Amino acid sequence: MQEQYRTVAHEGVYETEINRSRFLCALAPAATEEEAQAFVARIRKEHPTATHNCFAYVIGADASVQKASDDGEPGGTAGVPMLQMLMRREVRYTAAVVTRYYGGVKLGAGGLIRAYGGVVGEALDAVGTRTRRRFRLATVTAELQRAGKLENELRATGRAVREVRYDERVTIEIGLPDAEVVAFRAWLADVTAGAAGFELGGEAYGDA
């Protein structure tokens, strides 16, 4: 698994004008290819009279799914430069749709490539991105009377507390960078006098 990846912070739209053509770049996080396709379809529906609605998306921390469409622009002048910009910025789980309203001035192949790739880069700057880091999931179990203090100490030390469940004992799910697992075991044993349980689970991504 990748140690970390970048994704768009939230859905947003950026607009610019190039040689009298309006370019609107809509960006959105997409956890799956189906979500990316649904976003593309929604933006196309919002702009039915646009000259082109070109798209690109990258799904997977390792960029295992990459798709792009020129939507009627000359081959390789729209979707591919959009995709290349997402890849160059190391952006994953993100869909981009660039809507163009033609303004009467032809840009030429080179101009189109610069325009479509450039507007995606500018949109990423405007909307913002966030970094997601790989974590090991871990489960800490403790007696009820210790749980509140332990949860507070976990949060105070910046641990990624993902879920807390109360039963006969309290189960606290956390995320840990691989490099911190050994040190965390020692810390947990120290603060609970060895009374807390600790179990490592699988891997996931969380905010860095």
- The whole-number mean pLDDT for each consecutive block of 10 residues of the chain, a chain of 208 residues, reads 85 96 97 97 97 97 96 96 97 97 94 97 97 87 86 84 87 86 90 88 75
What's the CA gap between 2 and 19, in Å, rounded?
Answer: 40
Q: Which domain holds residue 175?
A: 132-207
Side chain identity at residue 205, one-letter code? Y
**What pLDDT shows up at residue 200?**
87
* Pair (117, 137) in one structural domain: no
Tell me the C-alpha distance between 148 and 159, whole Å.
15
Are 107 and 162 contained in the same domain?
no
| CA end-to-end distance (rounded Å), the chain | 16
pLDDT at 208: 58
Residue 107: CATH number of its domain: 3.30.230.30
Same domain, 62 and 148: no
Q: Indicate the number of domains in the chain.
A: 2
Q: What CATH number corresponds to the domain at position 201? A: 3.30.70.240
Residues 95 and 8 in one domain: yes
* Residues 40 and 101 grouped into a single domain: yes
pLDDT of residue 175: 86
Do the beta carbons of residue 93 and residue 131 sit within 8 Å? Answer: no
Mark whether 36 and 119 lie in a shared domain: yes
